[in-house]
Amino acid sequence: MKIRRISMLALLALFSAASFAQAEEFAQAEEKEKTESSEDAKTKHPIYSQTMKSLTGKKIDFKQYEGKVLLLVNVASECGATPQYGPLQQLHEKYSKAGLVVLGFPCNQFGAQEPGTEKEIAQFCQKNYGVEFTMLGKVDVNGKNAAPLYKYLTGTESGLKEKDAGKVGWNFEKFLVGRDGKVIARFRTNTEPDSDEFVTAIEAELEKPAPKTGKK
């Protein structure tokens, strides 16, 4: 009977040791996963890691824009600046083959000037301005519900100087992102897309070579 008790105690000790080893293994694996996730978060680019829906519901993976010059504009259909769609489309036609990507982000936060459905916005843009550049689904660009992309664009982490950072003021603000993924310049509503200042800034970025990615 005594031998039996000793055997049982030995088995319990072995079981406890095994359980402890498994628990320790699990804890180490969990810690490793957290570290890797943290490292992934640090290496993910705030622009190129984004995925958003277009006006037509198509998934847009921003990774495809690496090495391109991006022009991001929050747009509206019933604004005094709405005719800027025209020169934005012209920029798309003239410079898209050189590496410019124009992206429109409908937003109803300013004077409720983008009240339509996504289908109505798409039809309006095509019918009135022949828009062919990529239009994303409706988003907020300010506040707690702002799209993560815009939270980045309006902050100093994006490359903007502190005096140029801060929330979007009105429709048709323009963010110019260089081939390196940094915000090069921010233009307010009253800067026309076909102005010399604006076009010169775009051309200067397009002349720069795309950064090397390290891929063979």
Encode pLDDT of 163-203 as tens digits: 889 999 999 999 999 999 999 999 999 999 999 999 999 99
Q: Which CATH architecture has domain 51-206?
A: 3-Layer(aba) Sandwich (3.40)
Please give the Cα distance from 212 to 175 (Å, whole number).
23
Q: How far is CA 159 from the centre of its chain?
A: 14
The whole-number average pLDDT for the span 192-216 is 87
- Tens of pLDDT, residue by residue over 61-116, are 999 999 999 999 999 999 999 999 999 999 999 999 999 999 999 999 999 999 99
Active site residue 125: no
Instruction: Indicate which residue of 46, 53, 79, 118 is catalytic.
Output: 79
Domain residue extents for the chain: 1-42, 51-206
Determine the angle formed by the axes of helices 85-95 and 118-129, rounding to 10 degrees.
70
The whole-number average pLDDT for the span 153-163 is 89
Share of the chain above pLDDT 70, in %: 78
pLDDT given at position 210: 81
119: nearest Cα among 137, 133, 104: 137
